[in-house]
A and B are shown apart, each in its own frame.
Chain A
């Protein structure tokens, strides 16, 4: 039975390549910080069960775009977002949308691991508890265990769930944050430079995890490491000066990109 289930998941993974189904869709997305425009009419589709990497030099708008996808920019005072962003066809900037619920569906992992100053258990249990996802303590225990397993951290922390999350190593803390994001069963996970504070081994673990998470979630990752984008993503979008330069299969972007600016950037040339 188990094997059959696995086969079906795999078949599902292959399909998006031929017939992409879009999980999120940005149309003419522009962002202003006060008078300064940071993003110019970006049109980008995020495919289901796919890892989409956003690359580009600092200040190109990739993080700004990522933060539009779960309305994190709402927390910045003078930030104004225009255009349309949909999740499963529904406008996420619609007045009827509950932002808290949106962020449960579109979770986020940040650059620096930021566990709560609580126990490992509580870090993961917090989200499911406030969203009322667990009916009993046993239910909650189950969610915590599954989430830590999905984040590849369970075997390392199962005997010390009551120790503080901040006592873990940097790589473990980041995987704890991923477990925390996964615990509320999001549909999309946004990652903003999730490995930039990690050593190569911890980075490899997180990248392996991203690869595994793809079968259950849709992932959008902002990264400064071109090799990381090449390793973990199936689609790559290149940003420059607030514009989307090019978006294509990762294989194509890293072997023969269409745009000169993409080529110059990934090959490490002067723009």
Chain B
């Protein structure tokens, strides 16, 4: 993808950006996975680690930004090279947000811990995070291969996560209606579920960016959405 420039130093610079993005992706993935583990196992120590890791991701994003500016200034990239660099900036921003969402989930571990997370709900959130993590992992693989086709197919799969999120939303409502004491932990869990659902959205953003980097065109049509949580109401008694 980024090879064979007459200026070999330009190749090195682009490779460096790519390797930093891949590292960021790996770290973001790990943070999300650990945050969910910490949540379902009430592991505050692991939660603290996730919170600390976010600083690394933030500084990596700043570094990608600085490096990209220098490359643009020095090389005046055009066409695919320019899309590569602008794409790196966008993907770094999305990954940084994924890290923030992982960190936010980790922060809620302490609040939820007191009452513990009901087994059934924990499984739901775990499953939701599995879907989001698969999405994230696959999109990072596509970042390496640059397959526009795969990027497009990932973009079309966000629907599943949305549907799962809506079902968790309903479930949490039921718990809260059963016993007002559940309201505090369930509200936190609701935010956690929302965080994870947002991670799926960022993975979709990254898929769109990769599609643009590869083809120079925006993917056509709206993203498929099945997030109906915004219209869920409590059933009348």
Q: Please measure, in the bound complex, the distance between the C-alpha atom of A173 and the C-alpha atom of B5, giving whole angstroms.
A: 36
B214 → chain A closest CB, angstroms: 11
Among A227, A266, A270, the residue within 8 A (CB) of B79 is A266
Q: Please measure, in the bound complex, the distance between the C-alpha atom of A269 and the C-alpha atom of B78, giving whole angstroms.
A: 12
Q: Which residues of A contact B82 (CB under 8 A)?
A: 255
Q: Please measure, in the bound complex, the distance between the C-alpha atom of A268 and the C-alpha atom of B80, giving whole angstroms.
A: 11
Are the CB atoms of B79 and A268 closer together than 8 Å?
no
Are the CB atoms of B6 and A270 closer together than 8 Å?
yes
Q: A267 interface residue, CB < 8 Å from B?
A: yes
Of chain B, the residue at the smallest CB distance from A269 is B4
Q: Which residues of B contact A267 (CB under 8 A)?
A: 5, 77-81
Contact with B along A231-271 (1 / 0, CB 8 A): 00000000000000000000000111100000100111110
Q: Please measure, in the bound complex, the distance between the C-alpha atom of A254 and the C-alpha atom of B79, giving whole angstroms.
A: 5
Q: B175 interface residue, CB < 8 Å from A?
A: no
Are the CB atoms of B79 and A256 closer together than 8 Å?
yes
Count of CB-CB pairs between chains A and B under 8 Å? 34
Of A227, A230, A266, chain B has the most CB atoms within 10 Å of the CB of A266
A171 → chain B closest CB, angstroms: 22
Q: Please measure, in the bound complex, the distance between the C-alpha atom of A227 and the C-alpha atom of B5, giving whole angstroms.
A: 17
Are the CB atoms of A257 and B7 closer together than 8 Å?
no
Q: Which residues of B contact A270 (CB under 8 A)?
A: 4, 6
Q: B217 interface residue, CB < 8 Å from A?
A: yes
Of A226, A254, A268, chain B has the most CB atoms within 10 Å of the CB of A268
Q: B216 interface residue, CB < 8 Å from A?
A: yes
A-side interface residues, number (CB < 8 Å): 13
Q: Please measure, in the bound complex, the distance between the C-alpha atom of A268 and the C-alpha atom of B4, giving whole angstroms.
A: 9
Are the CB atoms of A268 and B216 closer together than 8 Å?
no
Of chain A, the residue at the smallest CB distance from B216 is A256
Among A227, A230, A263, A269, the residue within 8 A (CB) of B6 is A269
Q: State which residues 70-86 of B face A: CB under 8 Å.
A: 76-83
Are the CB atoms of A266 and B4 closer together than 8 Å?
no
Of chain A, the residue at the smallest CB distance from B10 is A268
Q: Which residues of B contact A257 (CB under 8 A)?
A: 79
Q: Which residues of B contact A254 (CB under 8 A)?
A: 78-79
A109 → chain B closest CB, angstroms: 25
Of chain B, the residue at the smallest CB distance from A226 is B78
B146 → chain A closest CB, angstroms: 15
A226 → chain B closest CB, angstroms: 7
Of chain A, the residue at the smallest CB distance from B11 is A269
Q: Which residues of A contact B83 (CB under 8 A)?
A: 255-256
Of chain A, the residue at the smallest CB distance from B7 is A268
Q: Which residues of A contact B80 (CB under 8 A)?
A: 263, 267
Are the CB atoms of B77 and A227 closer together than 8 Å?
no
Q: State which residues 127-149 of A face B: CB under 8 Å.
A: none
B71 → chain A closest CB, angstroms: 13
Are the CB atoms of B5 and A269 closer together than 8 Å?
yes
Q: Please measure, in the bound complex, the distance between the C-alpha atom of A125 and the C-alpha atom of B217, giving whole angstroms.
A: 52
Q: Please measure, in the bound complex, the distance between the C-alpha atom of A266 and the C-alpha atom of B5, giving whole angstroms.
A: 10
Q: Please measure, in the bound complex, the distance between the C-alpha atom of A256 and the C-alpha atom of B217, giving whole angstroms.
A: 9
B78 → chain A closest CB, angstroms: 5
Q: Which residues of B contact A256 (CB under 8 A)?
A: 79, 83, 216-217
Q: Which residues of A contact B5 (CB under 8 A)?
A: 267-269
Q: State which residues 59-96 of B face A: CB under 8 Å.
A: 76-83
Among A226, A255, A269, the residue within 8 A (CB) of B216 is A255
Q: Please measure, in the bound complex, the distance between the C-alpha atom of A226 and the C-alpha atom of B216, giving whole angstroms.
A: 19
Of chain A, the residue at the smallest CB distance from B6 is A268
Are the CB atoms of B79 and A255 closer together than 8 Å?
yes
Q: State which residues 1-40 of B face A: CB under 8 Å.
A: 4-7, 10
Q: Please measure, in the bound complex, the distance between the C-alpha atom of A266 and the C-alpha atom of B82, giving whole angstroms.
A: 11
Q: State which residues 182-238 of A face B: CB under 8 Å.
A: 226-227, 230
Which 6 A-B pairs give the minimum distances between C-beta atoms?
A: A256-B216, A254-B78, A269-B4, A268-B6, A267-B81, A270-B4
Residues in B lying within 8 Å of A, measured CB to CB: 4-7, 10, 76-83, 216-217
Residues in A lying within 8 Å of B, measured CB to CB: 226-227, 230, 254-257, 263, 266-270
What are 10 A-B contacts with C-beta separation under 8 Å? A230-B78, A255-B79, A255-B83, A256-B216, A263-B79, A266-B79, A267-B5, A268-B7, A268-B10, A270-B4
Extra 4 A-B pairs, beta carbons < 8 Å, given A267-B78, A269-B4 = A227-B76, A254-B78, A255-B82, A268-B10
